Amino acid sequence: MGMFEGKKGLILGVANDRSIAWAVANTILQQGGECGFSHLPDREDDEKKRNRKRVEKAIGKFSAGHPPAFLEPLDVQNDQNIESIMKVAADKFGKIDFLLHSIAFAHPNDLGGDTIDTSREGFKMAMDISAFSLIAVCKAAQPILSDNASVLCMSYFGGEKIVPGYNVMGICKAALDASMRYLAFDMGPAGVRVNALSAGPIKSISGIGAGVGKMLKMYEHVAPMGRNVTNQEVGESGAFLLSDMASGITGELMHVDCGYNAMGSPGRLTDLIDAK
């Protein structure tokens, strides 16, 4: 029997089949779980409904499991959207056992340059979408979370240490990590766990936007395992945190990065420097 047999939940943040949310959902479905999904709302003038179609295509590629229970529009800056998707989840599932928040956005102008040049509007938007939204979706989901439900958000090491170029998104991840811990405290008495997974670089749409292209080679030389983490590994670890197998874990920031975060020196990169 799969570890998600009889479990139902919400997966927020699939954009395509390279999304971390896709990999987490793929594992949950393989393990017998049922998932409802979100997509970014399409603009009124986009007759081709590109956002919905892209996510439809991605969720058509899962390797096994129940077919998607639903696919609903969600812009986390819109409270009505958040209420609506929770209503659909309540109508379809009654209660939910897991909730994945795998959402982030910052304006490209505010990434890659200097943090000191971040605009006020860019900062507010990035924080609203990438950090506050975890609080907003937890609040809206509260009435339908089952006893022992698990919430997971996606973080990155740039929220703990300086990662040049990650900039405002690093500040958002620090806020997301702190939000996760305070939510773990608030929701703990109801049996609900809240955790964060800190993934190594993955070549998703957001990852490429945040500059992972340049990081992959560096991670290979610095990480103890001498390689990059795979999307499948991130998906499996994420599913673990969302499962009953992690029933004693909450308020935790778990790194799934082939050990990169444990390093206190540039590791085998120094061999390259010495060779020059």
Query: Number of residues in contact with ligand NAD, rule: CB under 6 A?
Result: 27
Q: Which one of the spans 14-22, 42-50, 115-123, 188-196 is the region binding ligand NAD (CB under 6 A)?
A: 14-22
Sorted by sequence, the CB contacts under 8 Å of residue 259 that are 6+ apart come out as: 223, 224, 225
Q: What is the dihedral of CA 98, 100, 101, 103, to 10 degrees?
A: -160
Quote the least distance from Cβ 191 to ligand NAD, whole Å. Answer: 25
Q: How many angstroms separate the CA atoms of 51 and 195, rounded?
A: 28
Q: Give the residue from 228, 130, 230 showing the smallest Cα distance to 170.
A: 130
Any catalytic annotation for residue 182?
A: no
* Between 154 and 175, CB nearer to ligand NAD: 154
Q: Which residues of 216-237 are buried (b: 16+ CB within 10 A; e: fewer)?
A: eeebbebbeeeebbebebbbbb
Binding mask 55-84 for ligand NAD (x = CB under 6 A): -------------------xxxx-------
Nearest residue to ligand NAD, scored by beta-carbon proximity: 207
| Amino acid symbol at 238 | G
Any catalytic annotation for residue 156?
A: yes
**E strand or H helix at 253:** strand 253-256
* Between 152 and 246, CB nearer to ligand NAD: 152
Q: Which one of the spans 1-9, 12-20, 109-117, 267-275 is the region binding ligand NAD (CB under 6 A)?
A: 12-20
Q: Which one of the spans 29-37, 108-116, 152-160, 181-189 is the region binding ligand NAD (CB under 6 A)?
A: 152-160
Q: How many angstroms separate the CA atoms of 161 and 261, rounded?
A: 9
Q: How many angstroms separate the CA atoms of 148 and 7, rounded?
A: 11
| E-strand stretches of the chain | 8-12, 34-39, 70-73, 96-101, 145-155, 193-199, 253-256
Q: Give the residue from 166, 265, 169 showing the smallest Cα distance to 215.
A: 166
- Note whether 131 binds ligand NAD by CB under 6 A: no
- Note whether 103 binds ligand NAD by CB under 6 A: yes
* Between 190 and 262, CB nearer to ligand NAD: 262
- Note whether 206 binds ligand NAD by CB under 6 A: yes
Terminal-residue alpha carbon distance, the chain: 55
* Between 65 and 207, CB nearer to ligand NAD: 207
- Note whether 219 binds ligand NAD by CB under 6 A: no
Binds ligand NAD (CB under 6 A): choice among 4, 7, 11, 13: 13
Q: Which one of the spans 7-15, 57-65, 86-94, 264-272 is the region binding ligand NAD (CB under 6 A)?
A: 7-15
**What are the residues binding ligand NAD (CB under 6 A)?**
13-15, 19-21, 40, 74-77, 102-105, 129, 154-156, 199, 201-202, 204-207, 212
What positions carry a catalytic annotation? 156, 166
